[in-house]
Amino acid sequence: MRSDFWRHFDFLLLGAVILANAFGVAMIRSAIAGNEVLAGLVNRQIIYASLGLVLIFVFAIIDYHYWAATIRPIYLLTMLFLLVLFVVGQVTFGAVRWIETGLISIQPTEIAKIVVILALAQYFDRTQDSPRDLRWLLTSALIAGGLALPIFLQPNLSNVIVIMVIWASMVFVNGVQWRQIATAGVLGTVILAVAIFAPFSPLQEYQRQRVFTFIFPDPNARHGATYNVDQALVAIGSGGWTGKGYGHGTQTQLRFLKVRHTDFIFSATAEEFGFVGTVLLLALLGFIIYRLFRAARLARDQFGTMICFGVGVLMFFQAAVNIAVNLSLIPVTGLPLPFISYGGSGLVSLMAGIGLVESVVLRHKPLEF
Predicted pLDDT of residue 260: 86
Give the confidence band of 367 by pLDDT, cuts at 50, 70, 90: very low
Q: Taking 60 as the threshold, does the pLDDT of residue 366 lie above it?
A: no
pLDDT 10s digits, 288-346? 999 999 999 999 999 999 999 999 999 999 999 999 999 988 888 889 999 999 988 89
Q: pLDDT class for 139, splitting at 50, 70, 90?
A: very high
pLDDT score at 65: 93
The pLDDT value given to residue 180: 78
Strand partners, 99: 89, 106
Instruction: Give pLDDT, residue 21.
Output: 96
Q: What percent of the chain has pLDDT over 70?
A: 83
Are the CB atoms for 347 and 49 separated by under 8 Å? yes
- DSSP lists the bridge partners of residue 98 as 90
What's the mean pLDDT in 173-199? 76
Q: Is the model more confident about 306 or about 180?
A: 306
Q: What is the pLDDT, as a whole number, of residue 99? A: 56
As a whole number, mean pLDDT of residues 90-108 equals 57
Tell me the pTM.
0.88
Predicted confidence band at 88 (pLDDT cuts at 50, 70, 90)?
low
202: pLDDT strictly greater than 80: no
Answer whether 270's CB lies under 8 Å from 323's CB. no
Residue 238 CA to residue 249 CA, distance in Å, equals 9
pLDDT, position 365: 59
Place 169 in a pLDDT band, splitting at 50, 70 and 90. Answer: very high
Mean per-residue pLDDT over the chain, rounded: 86
Q: What is the pLDDT of residue 40?
A: 87
- pLDDT at position 6 is 81
User: pLDDT at residue 360 above 80?
Assistant: yes
